[in-house]
Amino acid sequence: MGQHGFTALFPVENAGVSYAIRYNISRADYVQRVTSGITASVQPSAFLGTKISVCKGASVLSRAVSASISRQPLVAPIRAQGVAAPADTKAPTTTKKTDTKSTVIITGASSGLGLATAKVLADSGEWHVIMACRDFLKAERAARAVGMPKDSYTVIHCDLSSLNSVKQFVDNVRQSGRPLDVLVCNAAVYLPTAKEPRYTADGFELSVGTNHLGHFLLANMLMEDIQHKENDTNRRVIIVGSITGNTNTIAGNVPPKANLGDLRGLAGGLDGVRSSVMIDGGEFDGAKAYKDSKVCNMLTMQEMHRRFHEKTGVTFASLYPGCIATTGLFREHYQLFRTLFPPFQKYITKGYVSEEEAGKRLAQVVSDPTLNKSGVYWSWNNQSNSFENELSQEASDAEKAKKLWEISEKLVNLS
């Protein structure tokens, strides 16, 4: 990405196959085409972005933008289409100016904690941020809105609810020619008021399929890139956890409580046909599905530490940066909850943390040399000092972590 232009990767569809097409255009031209040359209506989507409907006479570029960000909420299992990358996406696009920077991938970087963290790291001048987002246009607008330097970030499409999209993202990252230092698994789906389950493109319940299985595949595929990095002083894989999945806390004991049981639902595929859509085999509960996925995230981090840290030197960590009560993660909660929750956290529990402060904390776990201990679940006290926190019995169960890993490998076709 240069000072006067940028490279955009858009997935487009032809004869049932999705392709990542690279456009090299000036930033001003891109903004003019998007804001002036396209007639579009914007509607809120079910999760992580917006839906853009483009007029029939739109240009090829506008149709590509639409293809990358238009998607209806999934209400039944469907199969993802095959993804392929044409030869012209394989040429490295790095420049000498950015080669000296470390590279971090942040999923869900178009808003909330992910965007705040991207902003901190980009502003440092020491990091190039790859924003892994489902909605390309939203991510590009967000980066410009918060003033991220033009040569400090690249937006690459990644839909964690599609295993094929995750694989295409990894291919696109490798084609960029950038050595990878840090992966931050941050994006999350939270559907606390959903009455019926939604599904990923591969037929998994949406919350666990996105938050856990999508990240599980992504982290495993990128391990090869991170562990082969010659500079081994700052190679890290970070998975954002949650206090709501940690039942040794007051917040973690608010019903419905996280509980993976014997993983029978996960082993059955979470498809609502052969098995329950819940990991423990129970009835669907959107809030519990999110909490369960966070337990999976924290167990995955520990299992990665046990499997890879000693032989690769890569640091694996999880964290809870504090209660970001105003985050878009709560967009699907009841309006009364969204109104009352922030002041409750600010004035009653005193646990409120702004997106900016939370972003600084996650950026610490990415870059601070004093926070390089592997296998740690980081938290912060009221003075914003970091400390090694304790996980609940289930979220630190080594046998359950191993079983979770083995089942997840089969579900994402890694075993």
The CA-to-CA distance between both ends of the chain, in Å, stands at 37
CA dihedral 52, 55, 56, 58 (to 10 degrees): -90
**pLDDT > 90? residue 139:** yes
- The pLDDT-based confidence of 216 (bands split at 50, 70, 90) is very high
Position of tokens 């698994």? 185
CB atoms within 10 A of CB 393: 10
**pLDDT > 50? residue 69:** no
pLDDT at 382: 79
CA dist 187 and 157 (Å) reads: 13
* Token couple for 108: 């869900």
Q: Rounded to the nearest 10 degrees, what angle do helices 112-123 and 355-367 cross at? A: 60
Average pLDDT over residues 54-78: 36
Kindly give the residue spans of alpha helices, DSSP state H, lying in 313-391. Answer: 335-343, 355-367
Bridge pairing between strands 386-389 and 376-380:
antiparallel
User: Looking at per-residue confidence, does 118 or 229 come out higher?
Assistant: 118
* Token couple for 196: 């019926």
Closest to 162 measured CA to CA, from 126, 189, 199? 199
- The pLDDT-based confidence of 246 (bands split at 50, 70, 90) is confident
How far are the Cα atoms of 49, 67, 201 from residue 19, in angstroms, in the given order?
21, 11, 17
Average pLDDT over residues 69-93: 36
Angle at 67 between CA 66 and CA 71, to 5 degrees: 90
Contact 332, 45 (CB under 8 A): no
CA dist 56 and 71 (Å) reads: 18
CA dist 212 and 229 (Å) reads: 25
Give pLDDT tens digits for 141-164.
999 999 999 999 999 999 999 999
> What domains appear along the chain, each with residue ranges and CATH number?
102-412 (3.40.50.720)
pLDDT at 80: 36
Kindly give the residue spans of alpha helices, DSSP state H, lying in 70-135. Answer: 96-99, 112-123
Give pLDDT tens digits for 1-23.
444 444 444 443 333 333 344 44
